Homo-oligomer: A and B are copies of this chain.
Amino acid sequence: MTIVFIGAGNLATNLSIAFKKAGYSILQVYSRTEKSARELSKKINCDYTIDINKLKKADIYFFAVGDKVIKKLLESNNFENKFIVHTAGSVSIDVFKDKSNNYGVFYPIQTFSKERIVDFKNIPICIEANNRDSQKLLENIVNSISDDLRIINSEQRKLIHLTAVFACNFVNHLYSISSDILKKGNISFDILKPLIIETANKIIDNDPKCAQTGPAVRNDNQTIEKHLKMLNDDNLKNIYKLFSDDIFRKMNG
């Protein structure tokens, strides 16, 4: 099976490397940014182009670009007889309607960075397809890199993507906030790492509601007041208040 990647970002990098390892032939990488295209093509040893009209003929075209870009590219090139697949959490499968006869979605639920190549084995991959043959093809591809295939429609996928923003991006931002606060006190962020790992591990076997600890859940207003006084950034004060109120409300409501 031959593949062309449209996009050369975090997801394209991780996914193309996984596909190459699984034995697929990556023919080409397209990106608007020549630097990104060249870098990824080097990693997986294939051609690259920055001209959407110079895509090679392949069995499958993976769109790993933002929502707006998918639409633009679909207008600049004819994909009518091509099998096209996108990887975006919040984009409906219908973006491909009338653009091709065979299309689908391939959405791995994970956070990807170019510098950190992950193993797909335990990553849930959500697929959706416009017909049986397309679905069968996507199933085979998932099964070649992951043990966790999920058939998920566009509405469910949007919901999953929304929660991934809370459980990953916002969580990571809380790590970032903590790191900044510690820096001001000349304390290494390392000191929080065992706590961060345990907080994540704790919900593998427990409902997060039962796992909750800290001043908000035990309604310890004295500590909450002390903490609010220590924060001199209005955004952080708001985040602290909103979370403390919401934790108390959810645990007692």
Contacts and interface: CB of A to CB of B under 8 A. Distances in A.
A182 to B, nearest CB: 6
Nearest to A177: B166
A207 B217 CA distance: 29
Interface residues of A, number: 93
Given A111-B198, A173-B247, A214-B165, A191 B124 contact: yes
B175 A159 contact: no
Contacts of A1: none
26 contacts: A10-B213, A67-B223, A111-B195, A111-B199, A113-B202, A116-B211, A148-B194, A159-B184, A160-B187, A163-B192, A164-B195, A166-B240, A167-B178, A170-B174, A171-B200, A172-B202, A172-B203, A172-B212, A172-B213, A173-B243, A175-B203, A177-B246, A197-B201, A235-B242, A239-B239, A239-B242
Given A113-B213, A158-B230, A172-B212, A167 B196 contact: yes
